Amino acid sequence: MLDDEKCLCGSGRIYGICCKPFSGMKIEDYKRERESKNYIKAYYIAIAMLTDYLVEIKKHTNRILKDNPAIGKFILHQDINALSELADRIFCSIPEGNTDN
């Protein structure tokens, strides 16, 4: 994804200043930030993980759906499950009443 493209997370900002700074972070980074009570950073990591995944879907799943619909549908189902898990992480990033850091 190019720095000056609109970010796939839906924020309306450009990728270079939105999710790119957190791109490539892993679940371990997310968990470490939550355990340290850095809820805002955990949230941004979760959003960037979602964006990273959407970039992969855009690159691969769309092409596979065209070339081999049966396999494409299976992969799309897997993508939807993974996106659901990422969305759960995003919504659980900041416990209620903990938006001050």
Backbone angles phi, psi at 6, to 5 degrees: -65, 135
Start-end of H helices in the chain:
27-35, 39-56, 62-67, 69-91
Predicted confidence (pLDDT) per residue in 76-99, tens digit: 788 888 878 877 777 777 666 555
- Tell whether the model's pLDDT for residue 100 goes beyond 60: no
Mean pLDDT of the chain: 84
| 21 CB-near residues (< 8 Å, 6+ apart) | 44, 48
Res 83: pLDDT: 79
In angstroms, the CA 47 to CA 85 distance is 12
35-39, 73-77, 92-96: segment of lowest average pLDDT: 92-96
Res 101: pLDDT: 46
| pTM (two decimals) | 0.70
